[in-house]
Amino acid sequence: MTSTPLSAAETFAPGLFNGRTVLVTGGGRGIGRATALGFAQLGADVALAARDADNLAKTHADIEALGVRCISQVCDIRNTESVESLRDMVMSSFTKLDFLINNAGGQFPARPSEISDRGFRAVVDLNLHGTWNMLSRFVPDLIAGGDGSIVNVVHNQVGDRGAPLFLHSGAARAGVVNMTKTTALYLAHRGVTVNALAPGPVDTQGFREEEVANISPDVVEYTKRIIRDTPIQRLQSPDETAAHILFLCSPAARSLTGQLLIADAGNAMGNQNAVYSPDMQW
């Protein structure tokens, strides 16, 4: 296993996605940014959506520098009017959509007793309802194309081991996995594959500042604990997580649908309960 993940351009055939179009939510930073850049490196035209205008503008510029077309719009996937405006912009600009990457999401770490009703609803609204808002508005366009893919990004705590410190997110993302499988059944005969990707801890700004920093004041030491419990002994990079998404949209994955791909560097095989919530206090 290489210690330095390769870029999309080094991993996949040049021009793999020439003439194709992709929409990536949460595309301003982290996994979403890496995914959008990966598609662009392989020739796809890219539509970006994110809540942060500054991050969105930077990624937009970096994609255009690769010589492909890029459009972008600030969007809150929790808001149906915002999603419908995004859909109008994408389809009026590109006329077709081949790939939908539902990457936008988020959560905060907390013991179950610390999660308020409002906090629980907020996480479910973003991750579960937001994904539904995107699917319900864009699936007809993917069906019209007849040869596309949807990838819903979740996390590796959707499995049967539970989600310590992330009960709210685990419940919402498990709902997304079920929605993925059901949607796949409806779209398989229409030429559209639908899969979910569950990465483990990915080395992003959001992971460090919005998750780890809210679990422990010593971000560096706590990150080391997570790495020690991960079989490959490092965090995943955004680029290699993006590569998993690109694979699910590639010709090599045309018979893969309705699946949950747990691509977490073996993290789920470790003792994540002891790492995230060692005293298991409710």
Residue 282 belongs to some domain of the structure: no
Residues 181, 121 share a domain: yes
> 282: number of CA atoms within 13 Å, CB side?
1
* C-alpha distances out from residue 14 to 11, 40, 43, 265, Å: 9, 11, 8, 26
Same domain, 191 and 207: no
Do 247 and 109 lie in one domain? The reply is: yes
- Mean pLDDT across the chain: 91
Span 104-155, pLDDT tens digits:
999 888 999 999 999 999 999 999 999 999 999 999 999 999 999 999 999 9
Question: Residue 272: what pLDDT?
Answer: 62
Q: Domain range spanning residue 30?
A: 12-200+237-263
Q: What is the pLDDT of residue 280?
A: 62
What's the half-sphere exposure (Cβ side, CA atoms, 13 Å) at 20? 26
Same domain for 241 and 231: no
- At 190, phi and psi to the nearest 5? -100, 5
Do 64 and 29 share a domain, yes or no? yes
Decide if 83 is inside a domain: yes
Q: Give the pLDDT score at 277.
A: 60
**Same domain? 179 vs 63:** yes
Say if 57 falls within a structural domain. yes
Predicted local distance difference test score (pLDDT) of residue 97: 98
Residues 67, 83 within the same domain: yes
In a domain, 159, yes or no: yes
User: Within a domain: residue 281?
Assistant: no
41 in the same domain as 156: yes
Which residue did the predictor score with more confidence, 260 or 273?
260
Q: Are 48 and 28 in contact (CB under 8 A)?
A: yes
- β-bridge mates for residue 24, sequence order: 48, 101
Residue 248 falls inside a structural domain: yes
Q: Are strands 21-25 and 45-50 parallel, antiparallel or unpaired?
A: parallel
For residue 275, what pLDDT is reported?
59
- Are 251 and 228 in a shared domain? no
My answer on whether 207 and 78 are in the same domain is: no
User: Are 86 and 133 part of one and the same domain?
Assistant: yes
pLDDT in tens, 37-86: 999 999 999 999 999 999 999 999 999 999 999 999 999 999 999 999 99
Give a three-class secondary structure readout of the chain: CCCCCCCHHHHCCCCCCCCCEEEEECCCCHHHHHHHHHHHHCCCEEEEEECCHHHHHHHHHHHHCCCCCEEEEECCCCCHHHHHHHHHHHHHHHCCCCEEEECCCCCCCCCHHHCCHHHHHHHHHHHHHHHHHHHHHHHHHHHHHCCEEEEEECCHHHCCCCCCCCHHHHHHHHHHHHHHHHHHHHHHHHCEEEEEEEECCECCHHHHHHHHHHHCCCHHHHHHHHHHCCCCCCCECHHHHHHHHHHHCCHHHCCCCCCEEEECCCHHHCCHHHHHCCCCCC
CATH of residue 39's domain is 3.40.50.720
How many C-beta atoms lie closer than 10 Å to residue 73's C-beta? 19
pLDDT in tens, 184-209: 999 999 999 999 999 988 888 777 77
Q: Please give the pLDDT value at position 7.
A: 77
More confident residue, 197 or 269: 197
In a domain, 58, yes or no: yes
- State the total domains in the chain: 2
Same domain, yes or no: 193 and 140: yes
Residue 269 located in a structural domain: no
